[in-house]
Structure 1
Amino acid sequence: MFETRLKVYEGQRAAVSRVGKDPVNAPMIRHWCEAMGDTNPAYSGPDAIAPPTMLQAWTMSGLSGHTRGTHAYDELLGLLDDAGYTSVVATDCEQEYLRPLRPGDEITYDSVIESVSAKKTTKLGTGYFVTTRMDIRVGPDLAGTHRFRILKYAPLRRADRPAAGPARRDQSQKPSRPRPVINRDNAEFWEGVQRHRLLIQRCTGCGTLRHPWLPGCNACGGLDWDTVEASGEGTVYSYVVMHHPPFPAFDPPYAVGLIELAEGVRMIGNVLGVPYDKVRIGLPVRLEFREYDEELVLPIWCAQEGAAQEGAAQEGLYEHR
């Protein structure tokens, strides 16, 4: 039986006594904190520790990879590939922190195939969840554990996909847009979007607003929060114009902006209302909600009237010339 063959791999090693490519170090901690906007003083100075959520960073192999210590994990994935479960998607991870990591610590780690699920049917297709557990150590001390779960699945054939509901806004000839990833941390945000409300998390301890939604506050570490509704006013903080690669649900070129809301947080969305090549940093925009089909509502950002007229005039002048 196929599932019996898969279960044989449970408990087998996926990596043995591997060594982190770099010791825990201050530059990586600084880059991480800058990228995450984390100003916790515990992560700087002579007695600094590494942010606990960097746990996996010290084990990552980079483009050159690691010399493999065991072939069990590759064999398991190969077995699934041969059976037609050729696609993979990461589903979730869990971490446990047992010891602070400090600059200079040398990391070693082992990994084990912890479980292979029974066959599961998902919206992506039918397949198996494979969970590995990594134990990260400094010398003999266990510093933390990292569980990582993937789904190896056979993607649904086009004929097997459920029929889409009635399309809206002239989208009937296009494939549906990709769906946002909704989890327990951001579900309330997307529920608000469905009701045409843009909700921002607010820490009830220190009052700091945050986006994207997180389980805890970066400023004070508090876990309690409520929400405030955004006014809908914002400006383009940064942007890119997408030309390639083409996606069937989109019409390139189009502008994607990092929008700074009047409340101070930033979020990403399409910028409409002016030609894509007239989008500029500082462009004032206003929130709108667009329904793409029966289930999908997304926030978008439209140039405010004066800016839109100016952009249209400039475009007309350019064409006239």
Structure 2
Amino acid sequence: MTLCRDELKVFEGRVAAAGGEGKDPVNEAMIRHWCEAMGDTSPAYRGPEAIAPPTMLQVWTMGGLSGHEGRARAYDELLALLDGAGYTSVVATDCEQEYLRPLRPGDTITFDAVIESVSALKKTKLGSGHFVTTRMDVRAGGELAGTHRFRILKYAPANGEPTVRRQQKARPRPVVNRDNAGFWDGVAEHRLLIQRCTACDMLRFPWLPGCNACGGQEWDTVEASGEGTVYSYVVMHHPPFPAFDPPYAVGLVELAEGVRIISNVVGVPCDRVRIGMAVRLEFLRADEELELPVFRAVEGGAADSGSEA
């Protein structure tokens, strides 16, 4: 079923959430957890004058399992309309953030959201559908601190058995942009490249446009030796997804150089992956167009206890 443009445009500008309140004020504990997970050692996020990492903007608005009160009907009505027209699948496509003032421990967070735009019908490799963009205005103590735009695609899966089979074989493609293109160029040459700040020599991964330790903008690269250990991991059982065959292990691997990377742990049954297990880099030919760095368990490698999710 094809929806006319007017049926969708009427939703633009309507409220998606009103009077939302952050479950917790900005706090040092959550900032510490974020920085540890991201490997961000910037001194700006510690001490009595600490600020929250700007990219945590959305974190303070999340409702957790219990959700938030104040979600407006308009968003649910729009999704129901798209579902009824056959656009029953959904995938998050991207987000954009704008930062207007730093957030500091103790700030109380409120937010409102609107449906900013609903696209005309678009054809994608996944299928035809509509892009829905919401804009959330995030406030600290009543003052606008930033905006968060989140975009999804509501689509009808492409028809035809041959197309479905191709989708089942093809891994999702990484987003390659000017900030990380050098990393993927290295992968194509079977080299795992780590950024190094030329101002303070700090290594960083994943790739970033600036140093998260000193703020330096200049950098070069070092090639990882390929040796590492499993720092943490999960075993994915659900949901099933085309091109993946659960259960499989996803590891946070600490490289010998000290940075960490998320990738698959292979070469051993997923229920035998353990924290502390030694692994070694190799490159997986996912399909005719894509190679990915993965980590193979080293026979006899050390292991501690682990957890499964």
Q: TM-score range by the shorter chain?
A: 0.7 to 0.9
Report the secondary structure of 2:169's partner residue. Answer: coil
Pairing partner for 2:18 from 7, 16, 19: 16
Report the secondary structure of 1:161's partner residue. Answer: helix
Report the secondary structure of 1:93's partner residue. Answer: strand
In the TM superposition, 1:117-132 aligns within 5 A as 117-132=119-134
CA distance 1:231–1:43, shift in 2 (3 Å): closer
Name which of structure 1's ranges 240-249 and 136-145 shifts more when overlaid on structure 2: 240-249
* One-letter code aligned to 1:60: M
CA distance 1:302–1:268, shift in 2 (3 Å): same
Name which of structure 1's ranges 237-246 and 114-123 shifts more when overlaid on structure 2: 237-246
Structure 1 residue runs without a partner (length 5+): 165-173, 309-321
Alpha carbons 2:52, 2:105 under 8 Å: kept: yes
- Distance in 1 between the 2:152 and 2:15 partners? 17
Alpha carbons 2:176, 2:184 under 8 Å: kept: no
Name which of structure 1's ranges 59-68 and 25-34 shifts more when overlaid on structure 2: 25-34
Alpha carbons 2:110, 2:142 under 8 Å: kept: no
CA distance 1:150–1:46, shift in 2 (3 Å): same
Aligned pairs, number: 299
- Residue 193 (str. 1) matches residue 183 (str. 2): no
- Distance in 2 between the 1:46 and 1:177 partners? 49
CA distance 1:128–1:204, shift in 2 (3 Å): farther
CA distance 1:6–1:94, shift in 2 (3 Å): same
- Distance in 1 between the 2:256 and 2:138 partners? 43
Residue 239 of structure 1 and its aligned partner are, at CA, apart by: 4.8
- Residue 289 (str. 1) matches residue 283 (str. 2): yes
Residue 144 of structure 1 and its aligned partner are, at CA, apart by: 1.1
CA distance 1:137–1:262, shift in 2 (3 Å): closer
CA distance 1:197–1:162, shift in 2 (3 Å): farther
Equivalent in the alignment of 1:150 = 152
- Distance in 1 between the 2:249 and 2:72 partners? 46
Report the secondary structure of 1:42's partner residue. Answer: helix
Equivalent in the alignment of 2:30 = 28
CA distance 1:90–1:215, shift in 2 (3 Å): farther
Equivalent in the alignment of 2:197 = 203
Equivalent in the alignment of 1:40 = 42
- Distance in 2 between the 1:89 and 1:245 partners? 14
Equivalent in the alignment of 1:104 = 106
* One-letter code aligned to 1:126: S
Note the alpha carbon deviations across 1:142-190, whole angstroms, 9 max, x for none: 11111111111111235261875xxxxxxxxx95252343231433322
Pairing partner for 1:60 from 44, 50, 62: 62
User: Normalising by structure 2, what TM-score?
Assistant: 0.82
CA distance 1:233–1:102, shift in 2 (3 Å): closer
* One-letter code aligned to 1:299: P
Equivalent in the alignment of 1:76 = 78
Structure 2 residue runs without a partner (length 5+): 302-309
Percent pairwise identity = 71
Residue 204 of structure 1 and its aligned partner are, at CA, apart by: 2.8
Residue 33 of structure 1 and its aligned partner are, at CA, apart by: 2.4
- Distance in 2 between the 1:269 and 1:71 partners? 39
CA RMSD of aligned residues (A): 3.1
* One-letter code aligned to 1:209: L
Residue 130 of structure 1 and its aligned partner are, at CA, apart by: 1.1
- Distance in 2 between the 1:244 and 1:81 partners? 23
- Residue 222 (str. 1) matches residue 201 (str. 2): no
Report the secondary structure of 2:185's partner residue. Answer: helix
Name which of structure 1's ranges 79-88 and 40-49 shifts more when overlaid on structure 2: 40-49
Alpha carbons 1:179, 1:296 under 8 Å: kept: no
User: Normalising by structure 1, what TM-score?
Assistant: 0.79
Equivalent in the alignment of 2:306 = none
Residue 303 of structure 1 and its aligned partner are, at CA, apart by: 4.8
Name which of structure 1's ranges 6-15 and 234-243 shifts more when overlaid on structure 2: 234-243
- Distance in 2 between the 1:246 and 1:77 partners? 23
